[in-house]
Amino acid sequence: MATEAPAAPPAETPVIYTTRRGIATASFCLGLWGSLTFWWFPFGMWLGLIALALGTFANWRGWRAESNGDSLACAGQILGALAATASYTCCRIFQYYFEGYTPVWP
């Protein structure tokens, strides 16, 4: 009867994977919240930009939190970019129509 040596523990624990998935999930959540509050100019835009940055970082590092083939980091990037763009556009439209401010292009 041969005795086998026990298997070595994994180099990375599930806690590390949870943290990595959490960055991609945070990107998605902030992008979604930023797109829901795009009319609130500084808040919605900053949420969108933070979601875009976190999603880009998570994609760059390969931490996508894929669930059934969909990437939460990519979805966070898309929602973050839409939230930041919508917030900035909404602010400029409000300035134009309600304050009479016309943007000056250099």
- The most distant pair of C-alpha atoms in the chain lies apart, rounded to whole Å, by 89
Per the confidence metrics, is the pTM higher than 0.85?
no
Question: What length does the chain have?
Answer: 106
Mean pLDDT by 10 residues, the chain (106 residues): 72 66 91 93 93 93 72 92 94 88 73
Q: What is the residue extent of each domain of the chain?
A: 22-98
Helix and strand totals (H; E) in the chain: 3, 0
CA distance 64 to 74: 7
CA distance 69 to 60: 17
Selection from 20, 10, 26 nearest residue 80 by Cα: 26
With H, G, I as helix, E, B as strand and everything else as coil, classify residue 66.
Answer: coil
pLDDT at residue 71, as a whole number: 86
CA distance 104 to 79: 28
